[in-house]
Structure 1
Amino acid sequence: MGASNSTSNAPPRRALHVLRVAPGSPAADTDISPFFDFLVGIKGLETVDLDLASLERVIEGREGREIELIVWSSKVSKMRVIKLTPTRKWSSALPPPPDAKPSLLGLSMRLCNPEQSLENVWHILDVHEGSPAESAGLVPYGDYIVGFSGGVLERESDFYELIEEHVDKPLRVYVYSFDFDNLREVVLVPNRMWGGQGLLGCGVGYGLLHRIPKDRSSLMPVEQQEEPEEAELFVPAGEAGGMWYGDRQANQYEQAYDDHGYYGYDDGHGHSHDGGHGHGHDGHGHSHEDSHGHSHDDGHGHSHDAGHGHSHNPQPYVTPTAFSFPAQKYD
């Protein structure tokens, strides 16, 4: 079993971002939180820049002995020390690749700048009845897409390109629930045959006003601020359908995000730009109203805060640069 001690500190410039904690692993016995936690170092290890290779060497040399991981939490902006014992004596839910050794920690991580990585979240807004978003169990105003099974998303356009690449194909995304303070895996199947407009059938917000709030109590009703019941930190897609979300408080979230605008759906890219500027959209029909709402053919509803001049040119799908740093498990 793992334990943790807390110590305050400023956010690191570079760290290993925790993307997933394998169920039943040594890390699963601790309070390490996917997406929100960043591994900064190992107590007692003299190193300036901890990278994947150096961490692997240290962990290999300390198998079966307790180590102390220095972890920075983006939720509370503090460092803490987590104790655990690296071991291969646990069974993963998924079979390992041929000739591969079981992971010693059960963590999937990537090297990044913590402050920049937290900016890239996609806030689920209105969800239409019968849409792919509703079928996947996305919760309006309470859910945030933070990544997908192939890695992380580093730019706003990465998410929309990913959706277009997976038309009529299953896409596993990681969704953070603000209501339940946990991360779950959701399977989306974008399509145009569900009976409405757009590939997902939901509004998506991106930008400063749509980041995950740090102060949960400011947006939650008093009755929901009680200590939550113990639940799994990460819920795989196969189990997410059994989750109960309770009564929605959409009106409260609408007040908190009252300037996101409304989203038009002409089979796609409905934008609202707060304080936006002129845009040229090659190959896309759009209309301008007082709220600067745009509708694009064949895309997704989303909003931008403090919009900027830009142009949309149809391009072939390009794998985002985030994937040049694939998540790795430590053997």
Structure 2
Amino acid sequence: MFRIAKNLVKTFEQSVQGLAQDNELDAFFQSIPPSLLAPQLAQLEQSGALGDFSAANSAVSGLRVLWVAEFQLQLQSYFDYIVGVNGIALPLASNQHGYMYPDYNAIVAMLNACTQNGGSATLNVWSAKGGTYRDVYVQLRPKDESLMEDVALTSASDPGRLFESLGFKVQWSPLVAATFTYHILQLNVANGPAFAAGLIPDEDYIIGCQDGLLATGGDTLLQDIVRSRAGQDLVLYVYNKVSDSVRPITVAIGPDGRLGCGIGSGFLHRIPAVKGTESQAQGPAETFAPAPETFTPAPPQFAAAPPKSHKKKKHADPSAAGMSEYFTEGKDQSPRPSAAAAATDSTLPPPPITSHK
């Protein structure tokens, strides 16, 4: 049964990838403006790899944020990729083997120009959380010349940095590396390694491992690593989608080389967008105002009057008299005949007839 379900999931993922081949890029990356990926796609077209779905998605890259200082927390390590500056694609260069890499000197020159023209720059960032795209604004502080080194290490090709440290470190990396995640589906073994380590089903995603052992990705890579560490401790880096945080955990792998939980990987198990991100991107939702309903208010209800006491005479309640007038409004106010008169004929006798002689 499990094998049939796994094959169905794999078939579904293959069909999704087949539909995405028409757009040449995975849907996960299509939030990036095409102009920012134009140089990379043009290079792929020259090499003939643009029509290959897997090759195109493996080649599209960005500057992955690896470390962030405290004053630059608008960027997130591991998840964020810088794909442009001020709406301009990252300048690239290629080596003799045709491998593309960012031209860091050209990027520094772009940031130097921003330092001289206002001191701020816009970083175009793609996030692995749901494959979303956003702009991050950073302030470029001019570098203190009095603290510069006596020996200039710049050249014609290296203009030198005119601004202080930006507070983060990056590495050129393919965007597809952000999809190398493993979703915790359920805990299979009571008091097993996954349970003892505190893994949470459905909420947790394993995004990294000690010594970078999960960097290359693969559906069976985590399984192979766990088996190779049987009877040992293994440090995993886990992302929780509810708290939107990453925590390291130490798993004591048993002698059987099992983690004790079900794990999903692939298209259906990528990290989703943080709650509220998608709704803000789509704009405010339309509000629906229902038509007013007509209803007749129920007559007011009043508490029953307290029983009369023979010991003490109570004064009449003025509010009771007011309500009496309310209920008698519109009625015939003419006096009614007394009980004695009602017992006799209520018709008046005709007047006597007098004759005139």
TM-score, length basis structure 1: 0.46
The structure with more helix, counted as a fraction of residues? 2
Q: For the pair shown, which has the larger CA radius of gyration, 1 or 2?
A: 2
The structure with more strand, counted as a fraction of residues? 1
Which protein has greater RCO, CA pairs closer than 8 Å, 6+ apart?
Answer: 1
